[in-house]
Structure 1
Amino acid sequence: MKRVALALMLCAAPLAAQDLQYSDRGTELCLADAEGYAAKLACAGASANQCMEDTPGGSSTYGMGGCLDRELQFWDQRLNDNYAAVMVQAKRRDADAVPASEDRAGVADALREMQRAWIEFRDKACTYEAALWQGGTGQGPAAISCLMEQTARQALSLDVWED
């Protein structure tokens, strides 16, 4: 993600990425215990926060950005997996449905367009979030945190779709 790389470049670099004490375990455990969308959404940031606590220098701008980026990668993978599964369902529905007409989009096409619009929304929402810092040192972590939260939200939204 270009925006993530840009956000990380905005951070100071006193801590090497390999020094981060990050594990997906905190978020995974939280999700396993959570019931319902809101409870699962509250898990976003669990592993990043633990990383910031466990990593020497984790509360630095660079440490926060690194920990948040690692959890963003977790949510991005989950989003990609959920999107792929929902796309399979959408294509199955399209195959079972009456042929699409000009006035009715297929489910797979509608899903693809929704996801493209979501990506544009996410990018603009996180650009706004970063702009609130007016170039301050918190801008990078704010942008990555926004990307992580928006990605978690979308991953969980797609996770609840069923046939």
Structure 2
Amino acid sequence: MARRLAAQAVAIGGMAFATMAPAQDRAVDEAIVAACFDTAPRGGITTDCIGLAARLCEDADRPTTVGTMSCTMAETAAWDAILNREYKATRDQFADMPGLSDTLLTAQRAWIALRDADCKFAYDRYDGGSMRSVAAGFCQMEHTARRALELKKMRGY
């Protein structure tokens, strides 16, 4: 999972997430991410808790770019696991409806392209500054979380 996220990150504008993670390997409390997902209403998407696990993971006394990225990548991995579970459940729910699971696959591929383009833009905006990796990493996390919540919402109808 972490390798796939690192590969995605490197593919987006050449960001160096993969080289940063081992220096300060951080863990997030995945229960915080799960609670964020579980308490989100099916009819709407609440984003207040996205990023909370990463913020709590960071060293409050001495935050560093590497530490922030490591925590953001860890939370993104937790959201990615939820997204994959929700995507499968959503496809399974619509499997009996001709063509609908294929339409969802097409939509998911388009979402991936949108996420990648948005996060490349977030990275490129900072033109060489250290903030570019933080912005792109947060973009990946937020897009992944929002998509997981959107899939949850789809299954509610």
Above 0.5 in TM-score?
yes
Q: Which has the larger radius of gyration?
A: 1
Q: TM-score, normalised by structure 2?
A: 0.81
User: Structure 1 34/91 Cα, relative in aligned 2: closer, same or farther at 3 Å?
Assistant: closer
Q: Mark the CA change 1:11 to 1:137 in structure 2 (over 3 Å): closer, same or farther.
A: farther
User: SS where residue 148 of structure 1 aligns?
Assistant: helix
Tell me the equivalent position of 2:28: 22
Deviations 1:47-76 (A, max 9, x none): 00100146x64x201000000000000111
The 2-side partners of 1:147 and 1:16 are apart by 19
Distance change in 2, residues 1:73/1:151 (3 Å): same
Matched, 1:43 2:52: no
Query: Could you tell me which of 131, 146, 161 is aligned with 2:139?
Result: 146
Aligned partner letter, 1:66: S
Letter in 2 for 1:120: A
Matched, 1:84 2:91: no
TM-score by length of 1: 0.78
Structure 1 unaligned residues grouped into runs of 5+: 95-105
- Consecutive unaligned residues of structure 2, counting only runs of 5 or more, are none
Name the counterpart of 1:97.
none
Give me the CA root mean square deviation.
2.3
Aligned positions, number: 146
Change (3 A) 1:152 1:137: same
Superposed CA offset, 1:54-104 (max 9, x none): 6x64x201000000000000111111000000111121222xxxxxxxxxx
Give the C-alpha shift of residue 133 in structure 1.
1.0
